Every structure is written in C-alpha cells, then in structure tokens.
Amino acid sequence: MRLLLISNSTNAGEAYLGWPRPHIQSFMQGTGVKDILFIPYAGVGLTTEGDQASFDRYEVRVQAVFSELGLNIRSIHHEPDPVGAVREAAAIAVGGGNTFYLVKRLQELGIMEAIRERVLQGAHYMGWSAGSNVACPSLRTTNDMPIVEPPSFHCMGLIPFQINPHYLDANPEGHGGETRQQRIEEFLIANREMKVAGLREATFLQLEGNRLSLGGSRPMRLFQFGQEPRELMPGDDLQFLMG
C-alpha cells in the first residue's frame, strides 16, 4: 500500500494546502499518475446552498492547488456510478472536514469498502484531517462534532491503529473541559488493545509498502493503555504500529 495521511490542510496564516504541497507532490512523483479521484464529502458547510454547491466549491478549491503540482482531480460527486469510479481510480484523495458526515456518505454510497479494496490493490491514497481518520479502523478518535449519525463508526482499517489529527498539547486558559490527552486516555480505557497516534499540525504519516514513517517538522505523541505517552520523532522506526 501507499498512504499519505496528513494531520491538517492549512497552518494559520498560510495558503490552503500550503505546507503539505511539496509532500503531496513528492508522494505522486514517479507514479505516472496525474488524475486523482477526489472525495469531497467531509466538506459540509462550505456554503449554505446545499451539498452539491459545497462539493463543487471544495473541488474547485482543491483543483486550484493540485493544478500547480501538475495533477488533475475529478470529484466523485459528479459520478453516476461512484463505486465504479473508485474501482477504476489509480489515485484517491479524501479531503478534510466533518468526519461523521464523510463516513455517513461513504457508507451509504457503498464506497467505504470499495476504496479499501482499491487501495489494497495498489491505488495511491492520500487524505488530510477527516481523510486520515477514515484510513483508521474507526472514526472514534476524530475531534469532530457528530452532526449526523452514520450507520456505523467502522472505517477502512488500512492501518491497524487510530489517528487523532490536529493533536494539541495545550490546555487553553479558562477551559474547563478535558484536554486532548484526557479524551484519548478515555478512549483507551474502553479500547485497551488500540494505539493512538496524536498527529500534531504540519505532520503526516506515510506508508510505502511495509515501511511507515513520520514526516513534517514536529514529533508525534503515541498513546497506549497503561503506558505514559511517548514522543516519536521523524526518522524513528514506526514499524511496530503496523503489527
């Protein structure tokens, strides 16, 4: 498999998909693939004019960036046969937004399993934020509000561990709720066999065959039940996460 799982699309004060552009370009370089099937379903609320307008706007926004990288996208919401489009795709990109909304659409259209099968067959997969969440076994470590109820929390399971995108260490002044670490530790109490990768902003995980690596400018925080969280740095051996 080839996976590029990005924590966030945009850092504060930067252009959209600013920091990950060179990593997306590097991921696709040498593949011979220029056309990418885009999944926009997490992009609820880009406009108040309804899903179709939101997905159209999302497609235009992503295409503007990918065009600069010599890549073309076509959004799946135009396809009369979404499952067929997935089965023919050489590369798939899943955009960020609301993970619950994304999972609901993927499951109802029958393309969650179709994407998994296609990626296992060799299609290149990239996702950011919610698009990284759905590569995990479940959506249960998303930060998003459950604005809709999907049929199931099950996701693709392309990796055997969970990701928490946009991981934050800080406890903001005046905040009376749980920190991000506390929420993840609650998850681990209920799911003791699972590992959770806290992906900070401007970081990503890349899988090339059997080799998993951390990229970006910051460390990743790894959570396991009954153990103190530990920091993993770019260049560290992450193969144990795929066991």
Fold of 2-159+200-217: Rossmann fold (3.40.50)
How do residues 108-163 score in pLDDT, each as one tens digit? 999 999 999 999 999 999 999 999 999 999 999 999 999 999 999 999 999 999 99
Question: What's residue 210's pLDDT?
Answer: 84
CA 22, 180, 141, 158 torsion-angle sign: positive
C-beta separation of 40 from 26 below 8 A: no
Rounded Cα gap, residues 42 and 135, in angstroms? 14
∠ CA 237-240-241 to the nearest 5 degrees?
100
Question: Quick one: pLDDT band at residue 177, thresholds 50, 70, 90?
Answer: low
How do residues 46-78 score in pLDDT, each as one tens digit? 767 778 899 999 999 999 999 999 999 999 999
Question: What's residue 174's pLDDT?
Answer: 67
SS3 for 211?
strand
Question: Quick one: pLDDT band at residue 243, thresholds 50, 70, 90?
Answer: confident
* CA Rg value for the chain: 17
Averaged pLDDT, 171-184: 78
Question: What's residue 152's pLDDT?
Answer: 97
How do residues 94-106 score in pLDDT, each as one tens digit? 999 999 999 999 9
Averaged pLDDT, 206-210: 93
C-beta separation of 97 from 1 below 8 A: no
Rounded Cα gap, residues 166 and 96, in angstroms? 11
- The helix (run of H) or strand (run of E) holding residue 51 is helix 51-68
Q: For residue 165, which of 130, 122, 206, 213 has the smallest C-alpha distance?
A: 130
Question: Quick one: pLDDT band at residue 172, thresholds 50, 70, 90?
Answer: low
Question: Quick one: pLDDT band at residue 192, thresholds 50, 70, 90?
Answer: very high
Residue position matching structure tokens 């590992």: 195
Question: What's residue 144's pLDDT?
Answer: 96
Rounded Cα gap, residues 147 and 69, in angstroms? 34
What single string gives the DSSP state of each residue in 107-162? HHTT-HHHHHHHHHTT-EEEEETHHHHTTSSBSTT--S---S--S-SB---SSSSE
Averaged pLDDT, 173-195: 89
The residues annotated with a catalytic role in the active site are 129, 144, 166
